[in-house]
Amino acid sequence: MDLLNTIQAENLWQTIRNETGAAVNSEPILASFLHLTVLRHKSFAHMLAFHLSSKMSSAVMDARALFEIYLEALQENSSILNAALADIVAYYQRDPACETYSLPLLYYKGFHAIQTHRINHWLWQQRRHTLAYFLQNRASEVFGVDIHPAASLGYGIMIDHGTGVVIGETAILGNNISLLHGVTLGGSGKQTGDRHPKISDGVMIGANASVLGNIRVNTCAKIGAGSVVVEDVPQYSTVVGVPAKVISKDVKCETPAQEMDQRI
């Protein structure tokens, strides 16, 4: 899916507000949380900055200070906000447990980890490396996902469940990609420089798979759960095993990340 246009983004934000209002009516005990987190905010950017800063705050980092940092990033770089909205749509379309657009926004730590990383990456690009490292560490503690601030992520990314996902410094992810829990996009030794995987559009990587080294997983490939990938993966192919081998050069669905079919 392409980035949402302005009208779509506004409609999605209103849909999230409507869903949250319905949740207040169905579960009044959460009314305070839902009002504080969503309904009192006039914009998606304000809401997202508040929600992430509330989760990421600690005894040594005040929520208000974090809120100002996050809001600055979202207002300075509209692509972060647009990508977050595209990510919400990705969860809604791909995760059968995601029955409303508001669910990933409110409760999915994989989604939260992606959005905190996007802001960390913005800080990294601003050469605020010390703060980016601090917030990377905090995000790994809070969400169980460890993404180096320099790693580059496209839009329409879904990290299902999130627990145990590791993405290294020079990794680059394209658009409309799905990762399951335990995925590692790592290096293969002590070499420096460009040493992490490049993941193309439409790729799906199964649970606990490891993709190691400066290799490319090409468009709409599928990596089976538990596989260890150390060589380039052809487009529209399926690889499985340790080390991973190509078992099919013709993926049956157009976009594995969208279909989320775990069978091989």
Instruction: Specify the CATH number for the domain of residue 27.
Output: 1.10.3130.10
Q: Indicate whether 39 and 61 sit together in one domain.
A: yes
Tell me if 109 sits within 8 A of 103, measured CB to CB. Answer: no
Domain contains 77: yes
Query: What's the pLDDT at 243?
Result: 96
Residue 189: band (very low, low, confident or very high) from pLDDT cuts 50, 70, 90: confident
Domain contains 71: yes
Q: What is the pTM of this model?
A: 0.94
- Residue 253 pLDDT > 80: no
Tell me if 166 sits within 8 A of 186, measured CB to CB. Answer: yes
Q: Indicate whether 92 and 222 sit together in one domain.
A: no
d(CA 6, CA 222): 32
pLDDT digits (tens, 9 = 90+) for 87-142: 999 999 999 999 999 999 999 999 999 999 999 999 999 999 999 999 999 999 99
Query: What's the pLDDT at 262?
Result: 81
Query: What's the pLDDT at 249?
Result: 82
Q: Indicate whether 138 and 156 sit together in one domain.
A: no
Q: Indicate whether 135 and 182 sit together in one domain.
A: no
Residue 222 one-letter amino acid: K
Mean pLDDT of the chain: 94
Domain contains 46: yes
Domain contains 197: yes
The percent of residues in the chain predicted with pLDDT above 70, rounded, is: 96
Query: What's the pLDDT at 7?
Result: 64
Number of separate domains in the chain: 2
CB atoms closer than 10 angstroms to residue 240: 19
Average of per-residue pLDDT across 129-156: 97
Domain contains 220: yes
Query: What's the pLDDT at 138?
Result: 97
Instruction: Provide the β-strand partners of residue 239.
Output: 223, 246
Domain contains 1: no
Last residue of a domain, one of 88, 120, 145: 145
Q: Indicate whether 165 and 89 sit together in one domain.
A: no
Domain contains 161: yes
Long-range CB contacts (< 8 A, 24+ apart) of 168-173?
168/195, 168/196, 169/195, 169/196, 170/194, 170/195, 170/196, 170/214, 171/196, 171/197, 171/198, 171/199, 172/196, 172/198, 172/199, 173/199
Q: Indicate whether 220 and 251 sit together in one domain.
A: yes
CATH number of the domain residue 156 falls in:
2.160.10.10
Q: Indicate whether 99 and 157 sit together in one domain.
A: no
Q: Indicate whether 65 and 174 sit together in one domain.
A: no
φ and ψ of 89, to 5 deg: -60, -40
Query: What's the pLDDT at 1?
Result: 41
Q: Indicate whether 71 and 95 sit together in one domain.
A: yes
Instruction: Provide the β-strand partners of residue 242.
Output: none
Q: Indicate whether 16 and 64 sit together in one domain.
A: yes
234, 237, 241, 244 alpha-carbon torsion, rounded to 10°: 0
**Do strands 238-240 and 245-248 pair parallel, antiparallel, or not at all (unpaired)?**
antiparallel
Query: What's the pLDDT at 143?
Result: 97
Q: Indicate whether 129 and 168 sit together in one domain.
A: no
Q: Indicate whether 131 and 181 sit together in one domain.
A: no
Residue 6: band (very low, low, confident or very high) from pLDDT cuts 50, 70, 90: low
Average of per-residue pLDDT across 213-237: 96
φ and ψ of 190, to 5 deg: -100, 5
Query: What's the pLDDT at 252?
Result: 59
Last residue of a domain, one of 125, 145, 165: 145
Domain extent, residue 101, equals 6-145
Last residue of a domain, one of 145, 172, 207: 145
Query: What's the pLDDT at 263?
Result: 80
